[in-house]
Structure 1
Amino acid sequence: MEASLLAQVRTGRGKGYRHRLAAQGKIPAVVYGKAIGNIPVEVELRALKNILAGEGGRNTLINLKITGEGQARQDKVLIKELQYDSLRGELIHADFQQVSLTEKITTTVPVELEGEPVGVKQGGILQQQMRELEISCLPADIPEAVTMDVSGLEIGDTVHVADLPVPPGVKVLNDPEEVVATVVAPAVEKVPGEEEAGEEKEASPEAGEE
């Protein structure tokens, strides 16, 4: 997935500057890469949120157009880090990494399970231990997610990293034996008083004994 985003070089800093940006619906950000170094910019919060809410999410390949302070360039970037306000949960800062379409990068993508396992229909419980997969690939080949059909799993079956279907050109960096999900048997609930009754029966003398 690709998207476009406008960025303007920023010259201010500090809490007062961030408040002025917030009043304009913007947040500070930094763009960095081997070819451009570090460029402090400001971007529109709503536009960035729209990208994050899209199909590609954080792994969306962004055409970032940078203007201001003698800059007039466009670069392919990925969202590298997001900072949120600890109290309000609002997005307050972003880091963008310049990428080359011909150089592989390392990133993470969601692991999604689809379908209802046979074992769940029999009363089992599907437990997903892994929700993100670390991969290496070209920026344009980053999948939206790695999806696994688990409808055929029975109680006791386990999905490992090696079982996940990944698109061509994508290399998985996790341990192949790492567990992704398991269908476990339901816990057996004890009837209240059953254990006590059993203990009393075991402790009682046999018939005919004194």
Structure 2
Amino acid sequence: MNTITIEGELRSEFGKKATRQIRSEEKVPCVIYGGAEVVNFSAPAKAFKNLVYTAAFQVAAIKLGAKTYRAVVKDLQFDVVTDELAHIDFMELVEDKPVSVTVPIKLVGQSVGVKAGGKLVSKLKALKVKALPKFLVENIEVNIDNLELNGNIRVEDVKLEGVEIVNSPRIPIASVVMTRQLRQEESAAEKEGKKK
């Protein structure tokens, strides 16, 4: 799994004045929850670029002095006026503690429905999952080889070892719909069949 290393420094001062000072230095105030202690720190805004501005699910290795914390982004806040990153909440990855995260879906394979002339429609980009850190994956691969024309793959069709999927089981992930051309060809074939 892709890991982004972020070097930061522990925060000793809190409150609006201290937070404004951090932001004026182009740093982002952050907090890490979920571990043995709550850790407040700050790091340069540009250090978060590859972690925040991507659809990929990644782990952050946050270096604060001699200690490194493995964590995932839990919440982001942006400035309403400037749209700059204002605050990040991280959830520390603790081996025996399940964590809830959103993981992107990756469709793999060649759908039989598409080969028959249908059009693949992706309906869900990511799944909400709950798992121990060792079971977390960069993306959830969903095989569409057996997806037929007018067929759906639903959340309930995805099975992952050690991972609980939180989304509603009946939500479609992908479907193959009939294209206009295929419909025209079918109706033309029906009309041809009736003439004979």
- TM bucket, shorter chain: 0.7 to 0.9
- Tell me the C-alpha RMSD between the 2 structures: 3.1
Partner of 1:154: 148
Offset of residue 80 of structure 1: 0.9
Partner of 1:170: 163
Query: What SS does structure 2 have at the residue aligned with 1:17?
Result: helix
Offset of residue 34 of structure 1: 5.1
Work out whether residues 146 and 165 of structure 1, in 8 Å CA contact, stay in contact via their aligned partners in 2.
no
Partner of 1:112: 106
Residues 1:8 and 1:90: Cα distance change in structure 2 (over 3 Å): same
Partner of 1:6: 7
Q: Of the candidates 57, 62, 65, which is equivalent to residue 63 of structure 2?
A: 65
Offset of residue 143 of structure 1: 0.6
Distance 1:40 1:51 in 2: 18
- Counterpart of 2:21, as a letter, is Y
Distance 1:164 1:143 in 2: 14
Distance 1:57 1:161 in 2: 19
- Counterpart of 1:45, as a letter, is A
Q: How does 1:48-63 map to 2 (within 5 A)?
A: 48-52=48-52, 57-60=56-59, 62-63=60-61
**CA deviation string 1:139-178 (max 9, x = no partner):** 1321111111224322111111222252x22222333333
Offset of residue 47 of structure 1: 2.6
Larger radius of gyration between Structure 1 and Structure 2: 1
Partner of 1:36: 37
Distance 1:133 1:87 in 2: 31
Count of residue pairs the alignment pairs up = 179
Work out whether residues 58 and 79 of structure 1, in 8 Å CA contact, stay in contact via their aligned partners in 2.
no
Please, what TM-score do these two structures have when normalized by structure 1?
0.69
Q: How does 1:178-197 map to 2 (within 5 A)?
A: 178-187=171-180
Q: Note the residue ranges of structure 1 that are not aligned, 5 or more in a row.
A: 189-210
Distance 1:151 1:112 in 2: 13
Distance 1:43 1:91 in 2: 11
Partner of 2:21: 17
Q: Note the residue ranges of structure 2 that are not aligned, 5 or more in a row.
A: 182-196
Offset of residue 16 of structure 1: 4.2
Offset of residue 19 of structure 1: 4.2
Partner of 1:208: none
Please, what TM-score do these two structures have when normalized by structure 2?
0.73
Give me the identity figure in percent.
28
